[in-house]
Amino acid sequence: MAALKYAGLEDTDSEEELPPGWEERTTKDGWVYYANHLEEKTQWEHPKSGKRKRVAGDLPYGWEQETDENGQVYFVDHINKRTTYLDPRLAFTVEDNPVKPTTRQKYDGNSTAMEILQGRDLSGKVVIITGANSGIGFETAKSLALHGACVILACRSLARGEDAVQRILGEWHKAKVEAMTLDLASLQSVQHFAEEFKSKNLPLHILICNAAVFGVPWSLTEDGLESTFQVNHLGHFYLVQLLEDVLRQSSPARVVVVSSESHRFTEINDSSGKLDFSLLSPSKKEYWAMLAYNRSKLCNILFSNELNRRLSAHGVTSNAVHPGNMIYSSIHRSWWVYTLLFTLARPFTKSMTECRGVPSSDPGHYKQGEKMTGTNASCCTG
């Protein structure tokens, strides 16, 4: 076929040939459409091949595109002093992708926090991140703070939280960061945290439920619940309930629940398909650390979805995210076997440097100004 076309001997019965009464035209933007003069109708698809096309390239030298009083495009050939409704580029059409272009994915698993936040000014935004003294939570806190957000690091150890604050201030002395105590293994601590936060009279634009334990031995919290379930899910669930009014008042606001792909490897329903509460906070006899983690992560997703369903109409959205597989954070610390596995996987998985996008020692695009003075010059309430 191509050879015939090249030789100018193309099969006249080709699927590109228009049936009698049809004419090929172009729009101002170069899209090809087909006019059926018998039925007086137009369509985008070629009447035989069903393909959509557009013309490629610029008009030939000396040609100009005009529009007549009916809005129809015509072409002026200034060299030969003639006009025509036939686009001279129609001989050079290219097929349009019949699949409707979807919104191009801007980011993927290799995108760094800095790439995603590039050019964003988050001044005036207030963010709470649980478990922000290490790992993914710390990198998230730092990236948001370096873009102007006021970030509260909600940590179970205030000392570790303060240390994280200092590390962020070491990168940018004007960062608005503050550590507060939040132990998700204690519902009372969650309540105290919420009260203390509310007493600051700050808005809350982003709440990131990030903290988690993984593979820990069975233990009960002071509330009598299995600790993985309470820390990873229930504590966050309670925190969101307590802060829901502030989130609503601060809309548009968002909740981000850091879950995991591993939520897929478990069930929380009984054989009749109903939620089995005994699976959520199992006894020591029925406890398997890995399964408890997976279940807590499934709870994260179910919670986030339901939260989004209930609050999005009020300007508060919720999304659950999987941050990546086996990122070398501190998550593996509960058992040396996990540490070994994470170490072996380390060369093949996303690193903390890749998460953040710039090495900690490099303040990158941020100005290094005068040294910070005072002890709490960058706290959110300051």
Sites of contact with ligand NAP (CB under 6 A): 130-131, 133-137, 156-157, 160, 182-185, 210-213, 231, 258, 260, 322-323, 325-327, 329-331
Q: How far apart are CA 110 and CA 354, in angstroms?
A: 7
Pairing of strands 63-67, 32-36: unpaired
- Residues 6, 293, 328, 366: which is the catalytic one? 293
Q: Whose CB is nearest to ligand NAP?
A: 135
Nearest to 286 by CA among 272, 299, 297, 276: 276
CA dihedral 102, 103, 109, 112 (to 10 degrees): 170
Q: How far apart are CA 294 and CA 264, in angstroms?
A: 7
Give yes or no for a cis peptide into 252 (omega within 30° of 0): yes
- Residues composing the chain: 382
Task: Give the shortest CB-210-to-ligand NAP separation in angstroms.
Answer: 5
Known catalytic membership, residue 238: no
Closest to ligand NAP by CB, 22 vs 193, is: 193
Task: Give the shortest CB-200-to-ligand NAP separation in angstroms.
Answer: 19
Is the sign of the CA dihedral 178, 179, 182, 188 positive or negative?
negative
Closest to ligand NAP by CB, 205 vs 332, is: 332
Closest to ligand NAP by CB, 93 vs 133, is: 133
Task: Give the shortest CB-154-to-ligand NAP separation in angstroms.
Answer: 7
Closest to ligand NAP by CB, 32 vs 164, is: 164
Task: Describe the crossing of helices 158-171 and 135-145 by its angle, rounded to 10 degrees.
Answer: 40
Q: Which two tokens stand for residue 93?
A: 């059409």
- Residues tagged active-site: 293
